[in-house]
Structure 1
Amino acid sequence: MKLIRDEYGFSKGRRGPVIPSPGKTRITIFLDDDIIEAFRTKAEAEGKGYQTLINEALRAAIQPENAPITQKTLRRIIREELHTA
């Protein structure tokens, strides 16, 4: 019987993804279950990945000027513009 180790040499193998993800870093983070579930639900509705939505939320938190305009913000802007016109 021939063993698999006789056919394949894994001595130079490395752990991790086969294809690197430039600009991405794998981390371990603990988030509350309700937060994860909310992002998963929203991601499914929008057809995106939940990690993508978490990235967008974190990016908006550190760069509020680049955050998407919410309905509440848009209404405030319209009211201000109508009031000054």
Structure 2
Amino acid sequence: MKKVKSGMTDELRPEYKRSDFGEIVRGKYANQIKAETNVVLLDPDIAEAFPNDEAVNKALRYLLEVAKTSSSLIG
């Protein structure tokens, strides 16, 4: 990370105008990023039970296998 030189301000350089940059929209791409990601947040109590992603995946695969087996017994 670059260090800010002392005496520098947050002002635009004289050759730039704020109007050159268009409208600023906070979170403009937030929904698009949310739709394109597969990150899942676990509740704290669940996260505490699993030390890492491998343990979560192993548990979910086992659960999926059990669900498939039990549904084939019924149908």
TM-score after normalising by structure 1: 0.31
Pair member with larger Rg: 2
Q: More relative contact order in 1 or in 2 (CA 8 Å, sep 6+)?
A: 1
More helix, by proportion: 1
